[in-house]
Structure 1
Amino acid sequence: MKLLTSTALLALMMTPAFVAPAAAEGWKDDYQVVKFGILSGENEQDRLERNEPLRSYLEETLGVKVEFFTAGNYDGVVQAMAADQIEFASFGSSSYAAVYNATNGGVIPFLTSQKLNGNTGYRSIVVTRCDSGIKSLADAKGKVHAFADPDSTSGYAVPYFNFIEKEGFKPEEYFSAVPFSGSHEAGVQGVVNGTFNTASTYQNNDEDGVYQRMENKGMIDEGVVCKIWESPEITSGPWTARASLPEEMIADFAEAMKAFPTARPEDYKVYSSFDPEDPNPDNGYVEVDHERYQWIVDMREWLRQQRRGG
């Protein structure tokens, strides 16, 4: 079957009242089990609990068995997609660039999340203990700084790039150590515990981010963690499909995802970590294509050259 291009998919999904053709049932004969990958941005239990309403909804809507795929780090999901072990995955921008390179462009980004005010981005931030005496990156010089994961956009790629290109220092030389915590929550928890002096993570706004959600869940005390730096806005990562999948299968999955917030509003709230006090919560999905993320692919290449040069 001819592979579906991002442009063709976008045009298809934007067709008013799109209904998959009768032939779309054909893909279910070959894909009776559909697997989607989720990244390790939070602890395993919370990750599975938050995604279970979406899994159940997709299984009922698509009429096939739907299963999670999880891994201990981002690269595990990237490699699973590259090895054709999963059909779909929700990637961050940098991990999307990683899977794009790992598959030689054999993936299709098709949706990204949108906020109530229409924004489709977030920011990398650096956090520390509020009582650490560290108020800026200048104060953090010579301290231990934790990045989240080598394939994390906000937890590594964007802060590393900005530290060198915008702030004027190389992390390996500026900090006393730059370990990877393994996940955003682990980095924040390490700051709270004193394992790290600072850590890179992300937030959507000052009311909604990794450490704010950890406060809401009772994982850390409120007021212990403070932000000392933030990046320019980052485009939210995309839901991504293997390009080798049938066109109708990708379109059906995309339509189901787009309908999820209105078809199952309470389940969507669980999946999106809805906070009733957040003035700008997630509000659904908009279509994207690869061009939206080309700059991230370019940034990853810059990072690769930096590592080679080092």
Structure 2
Amino acid sequence: MRLLATTALIALTALPAVAQDWKTDYRIVRFGILSGENEADRIARYEPMVAYLKEKLGVDIEIFSAGNYDGVVQALAAGQIEFSWLGPSAYAAAWTETNGGVVPLFTSQQNDDSVGYYSVVATRCDAGYNTIDDLKGKTMAFADPDSASGYTVPYYNLHAQGYVPEEFFGAVPFSGSHEAGIMGVVNGQFDGAATHWTNETAGNIQRMVSKDMIKEGDVCIVWTSPLIMASPFTARTNLPAGLIEDMKKVMMAMPTDAPEVFKQVSGGEASTSKAYVPVTHEQYQILIDMRNWFKANRRS
């Protein structure tokens, strides 16, 4: 794990009417990002957001990036960061780890007004796999233990459908990230990999195509999960109320105030996000229930 501070080379403009009292204790505000894509790309994707927040909040902003999802969860639990973009399962992990010490503030809304996405299992299009049944005895890669679309949701739902992963597949390794899983499929390391998919134009596969990491038509989808609530921007509950409200205010204004920044943070050209909308803890309770199911089954 490491902290990376990015200094925005822009002049400050008129700041919003936000409370000043929290700035005495928080001259630097830190937010975490998950390891769904390679580190260089994920840091570059969030640099414009760092500049935007520094301008609007009037304090220094630092990005926290870890090698896996749990590194960010533990940083929140230890008070090393104030905010973080978390996947639904990572939020459930953070909420459990902190005994309810985190709160979801908002999430992305798509152009069709939806606020969710899917887990999919992808295979090489030329491998001849058409359904999940074709992967019996094959190598199926999950992304990260704290990834909703990369592990929690596909494992839980496949198990519920009668495909107990450790028994049905030949091997079930963790690839380490969504990008690594798909690259492993394309390169023949894995037969299938779980990743996230929003719609026909947005998702991990489409983003990797847009970055020239893979080619259009390299991978095909053979299984799709039920809808998953979209990833929440999350805060520690022990922060000053003014800091939480000010961060929520400037972030939710970003799609209008800084649309190019919003677009890049949302995934670049492959993004179909149009706004941020408020969310509540109750909308993610199902992920906590799933994680509790995992714990119960491991004990048994």
With normalisation by structure 2, the TM-score equals: 0.93
Partner Cα distance (1:298, 1:96) in 2: 12
3-state SS of the aligned residue for 1:36?
A: strand
Are residues 1:136 and 2:131 paired? yes
Corresponding residue of 1:168? 162
Are residues 1:185 and 2:176 paired? no
Partner Cα distance (1:259, 1:221) in 2: 35
Q: Deviations over 1:84-110 (max 9, x none)?
A: 000000101000000000000011111
Corresponding residue of 2:23? 28
Corresponding residue of 2:292? 301
3-state SS of the aligned residue for 2:127?
A: coil
Q: Tell me the CA shift for residue 216 of structure 1.
A: 1.3
Corresponding residue of 1:9? none
Partner Cα distance (2:26, 2:105) in 1: 20
Corresponding residue of 2:150? 155
> What one-letter code is carried by the residue in structure 1 that aligns with 2:277?
V
**Structure 1: which 5+ residue stretches go unaligned?**
1-18
Q: Tell me the CA shift for residue 275 of structure 1.
A: 2.5
Supply the RMSD in Å over aligned alpha carbons.
1.2
Q: Deviations over 1:232-263 (max 9, x none)?
A: 11000211100000001000000010111111
Corresponding residue of 2:256? 262
Corresponding residue of 2:238? 244
Corresponding residue of 2:107? 112
Q: Tell me the CA shift for residue 212 of structure 1.
A: 1.4
- Alpha carbons 1:20, 1:251 under 8 Å: kept: no
> What one-letter code is carried by the residue in structure 2 that aligns with 1:50?
R
With normalisation by structure 1, the TM-score equals: 0.90
- Larger relative contact order (CA 8 Å, sep ≥ 6): 1
Corresponding residue of 2:217? 223
3-state SS of the aligned residue for 2:144?
A: coil
Give the percent of matched residue pairs that are identical in Structure 1 and Structure 2. Answer: 54
Bigger shift: residues 296-305 or 67-76: 296-305
Partner Cα distance (1:26, 1:124) in 2: 42
Q: Tell me the CA shift for residue 274 of structure 1.
A: 3.4
**Structure 2: which 5+ residue stretches go unaligned?**
1-15
3-state SS of the aligned residue for 1:131?
A: helix
- Alpha carbons 1:146, 1:199 under 8 Å: kept: yes
User: 5 Å matches for 1:52-131?
Assistant: 52-131=47-126
Q: Deviations over 1:181-217 (max 9, x none)?
A: 0000000000000000000001101221111111111
Are residues 1:291 and 2:282 paired? yes
